[in-house]
Structure 1
Amino acid sequence: MTALPRRPILDWPSFVGTRSAGMPSVADLPHKRMTTSGRAAIFQALRLAGLAPGTPVLVPTYHCPTMVAPAVLAGLRPVFYALDGNGLPVLDTIPAGLAREAGAILVPHLFGIVRSLAEVRQWCDRTDTLLIEDCAHAYYGMAGERPVGHWGDYATASLSKFLPVPEGGLLASAHRPVPPLGLHAQSPVAQLKGLFDVLHFATDHGCLKGLRTLVGTTVRWRRHASAAASSTLPRSVGQTGTSTSTEADMSRHAAAPLAVTRALHGVLPRRQIVDARRANYLALAAGLDSGACARPLFPSLGAGAAPYAFPYWVSDADRVYAELRDAGAPVFRWDRIWPGTPVIPGDSAPDWHEHLIQVLCHQALRPDDITWTIATIRRIVNASADACHS
């Protein structure tokens, strides 16, 4: 089977439906600016905070590198806090001295399971700490008593996780003006490449019927042109087969988002995105086992959530994850821990880094895709069931 898509895909039906999402969105906040990514938005929030170099910034122990790298780029010092079983900060484990010294705290709505940040908000008000509400996984939702994004002094979001765009982030605030960020426009070549990447990804997955021939011809022309150009270069100048980019690459933090991102963000209906993600999450929760070897971390889904991923705890996660990736399942894992991340008693993060597999539930995954994903996960997990029970 061809690997299932790991991000949303543009298709003709993407343009049909109800504009309103049926629940609040980070895009509804009154003050906002677009960026190239969620990590670029975090960096810009820290820059606007005007913190002195070396000021501590609190970040969660369960993280991907993109949550920590912006603080480093901003010249600040990431310091880690523990998480409880719901993925919320364990605030009483933060030393009082650090609480007074910290300039900001980054608090994510992990997996898109939005929760009230009332206690965090109160703690930030007492300690005079800037709250950055990380909505990379939660572009839509009601976070307890407030719409998503309304708890933080700033909210940050990742458009490419929820929309069929090649890149995109959002820095927003319910209370603070967000001035122009001074981002530089990308080149015409980059703009065309961004548009082409959207179309190529779609037609490569059987979408946008009618454009496949045109896109395929363009792909062949680009490959021919690239091969011809490479043949004229000295051997040492050619491609090495390795990449210098990483998941935490911050090289484009000062670039403005592509025109195709702005256009699609402005015109695409929202309701089908929310409905499909909720349906996919609930189908995964109903179809995946809960037992000694594997279990859903959050089997239920509140009415105010439009999730990003379904977190699934697996005892033999190293083997299961590798086999799921080989099979083409839409999964990923946060097993890359930032150097210096401490082990804090009672913290959920070490267990989650080791055992959690995040199963994507975005709107491009059809019911048949979810059915196949469930069957594949069950088969691979059950292959080690005897060892698990023993």
Structure 2
Amino acid sequence: MAYPKPKIPIQPVLSLESFNLNRDDGDVPSVLHARHAKFVTSGRIAIAMALQQMGIGKGDTVMLPAYHCPAMVEPVIWSGATPIFYKIHPDTSVDLNDVQGKLDASVKLLIVAHYFGFPQDLLKISDFCNQHALYLLEDCAHCFFGKYKNKPLGTYGDYAIASTMKFFPVYEGGCLVSDRHHINLSPLNSAGLGFEVKATLNTLEKSFEYGRMKWLQKILFAPMWLKDFIWKSVKRKASLGKVSIGPGASDGGFGFEAKWLGKQSAFFSRYLIKHVSRARIVSERRKNYIILQEALSGLPGCRPLFSGLPEDVIPQVFPLIVNEPEKIFPILKNAGVPIIRFGEFLWDGVDATVCSASVDLSRHLLQFPCHQELRAEEQAWMIAQIRKVFLSI
């Protein structure tokens, strides 16, 4: 079913406030505190590169959480390794007993995900991996920022991956980091002028689409009109499979595109990651999450996944468990409320016999944006829509 475009941005969009030069970024903890980092075009590409760094391939087994996005699994399949799925608990924590019960000599790597920005028990998991001679890969797609036991997320594992476009106002991007190992890669190359232009223009267009930087939109009216004229031909060729100038991950697609290996994130994306205010990202996300927590707690037919927001957690989204999502979801989507459904589609064969908690989360967990670029009136409108629906069902 086709739903209308969300009335407020589901991901961060660029604004003048993004830079907020009056804030002191100081030493904001993030995955970039790892000693080695490479910026690439998506998180799934970063996973594939991590597998290459660890020498994992045919004949090896990789253990992944049963609650996942297909983009976590596709690089494993591409590498030739075999994915095995382990249980998580209803609060998304790793079930290490299930992991241990599935270990054999072929298992080389454990991937753990810090769902929605809330960290796993990394001390316990790190000890487990050391005891069993396993590599540990932190999937930080949901937690670019944050700490666990006074140490930045992404610095516990052998490697970590992150998704920059979930936290920064950029069109594309991911990164591979390691605090333990050098990342031995040939120099990353640009994906070409078309990609660089698209990454820049898509970032600006999304900003204009949601009413940000209108002064710049007026200045760029003529060149943007010309771009649209040219772009129609390019997009037509892309739809016919003749040309692809952007990673599918940036456009919400599934599938692993190996051609993006060895390509670095666009210059404009890297520029924004370096220059936007990280302190603002952290403070605004926490503030918006708490507003949602206070407004939606106690509503009939739903409950927040987590009871509170620990001090060192920088949330990606606000996750809400919904008793009857089949009723709630279409109403909110048709109203233009932005909803994310991580793990909506699990890998073939992952069912309740593999992990009942994962299936329940897949079906019943909806996520709402709490990113730093939400305006107060946008968040108030979203909350009013959500409350109205739950109070009327």
**1:73 and 2:42 are equivalent in the alignment:** no
**1:7 and 2:11 are equivalent in the alignment:** yes
1:339 equivalent in structure 2: 348
2:191 equivalent in structure 1: 186
1:256 equivalent in structure 2: 264
| Equivalent runs, 1:347-362 vs 2, <5 Å | 347-362=356-371
Q: Tell me how far 1:34 sits from its aligned partner.
A: 1.1
TM-score scaled by length of structure 1: 0.89
> Gapped runs of 5+ residues in structure 2?
none
User: 1:81-138 deviations in whole A, cap 9, x for unaligned?
Assistant: 1001331210111354625421111101100112431111111111111110111110
Moved more, 14-23 or 142-151: 14-23
| Equivalent runs, 1:23-42 vs 2, <5 Å | 23-42=28-47
Give yes or no for contact 1:23–1:142 (8 Å, CA) kept in 2.
Answer: no
Q: Which amino acid aligns with 2:330?
A: A
Aligned residues: 379
Q: How many angstroms apart in 2 are the aligned matches of 1:226 and 1:256?
A: 23
Q: Out of 336, 344, 350, which is 1:328 matched to?
A: 336
Q: Out of 269, 284, 291, which is 1:276 matched to?
A: 284
Cα distance change on mapping 1:19 and 1:178 into 2, 3 Å: farther
3-state SS in 1 of match to 2:51: helix
Q: Tell me how far 1:29 sits from its aligned partner.
A: 1.0
3-state SS in 2 of match to 1:331: coil
**1:152 and 2:154 are equivalent in the alignment:** no
Q: How many angstroms apart in 1 are the aligned matches of 2:9 and 2:309?
A: 23
Q: Tell me how far 1:372 sits from its aligned partner.
A: 1.5
Q: How many angstroms apart in 2 are the aligned matches of 1:227 and 1:116?
A: 49
2:316 equivalent in structure 1: 308
1:295 equivalent in structure 2: 303
Q: Which amino acid aligns with 1:8?
A: P
Q: Which amino acid aligns with 2:255?
A: D
Q: Tell me how far 1:44 sits from its aligned partner.
A: 0.6
| Equivalent runs, 1:109-188 vs 2, <5 Å | 109-188=114-193
**1:101 and 2:106 are equivalent in the alignment:** yes
Q: Which amino acid aligns with 1:351?
A: D
Q: Tell me how far 1:218 sits from its aligned partner.
A: 3.3
Give yes or no for contact 1:37–1:158 (8 Å, CA) kept in 2.
Answer: yes
Moved more, 102-111 or 244-253: 244-253
1:45 equivalent in structure 2: 50
User: 1:323-353 deviations in whole A, cap 9, x for unaligned?
Assistant: 2222221211131111121434764211101
Q: Which amino acid aligns with 1:168?
A: G
User: 1:9-68 deviations in whole A, cap 9, x for unaligned?
Assistant: 111121223352654110111111111111111111011110241311111111111111
Q: How many angstroms apart in 2 are the aligned matches of 1:275 and 1:174?
A: 26
1:318 equivalent in structure 2: 326
User: 1:205-232 deviations in whole A, cap 9, x for unaligned?
Assistant: 111232112344334323334567899x
1:387 equivalent in structure 2: none
Q: Tell me how far 1:309 sits from its aligned partner.
A: 0.8
2:66 equivalent in structure 1: 61
Q: How many angstroms apart in 1 are the aligned matches of 2:271 and 2:241?
A: 37
User: 1:274-294 deviations in whole A, cap 9, x for unaligned?
Assistant: 011000100010000336511
Q: Which amino acid aligns with 2:190?
A: A
3-state SS in 1 of match to 2:319: strand
Give yes or no for contact 1:57–1:104 (8 Å, CA) kept in 2.
Answer: yes
Q: Tell me how far 1:316 sits from its aligned partner.
A: 1.0
Q: Which amino acid aligns with 1:142?
A: K
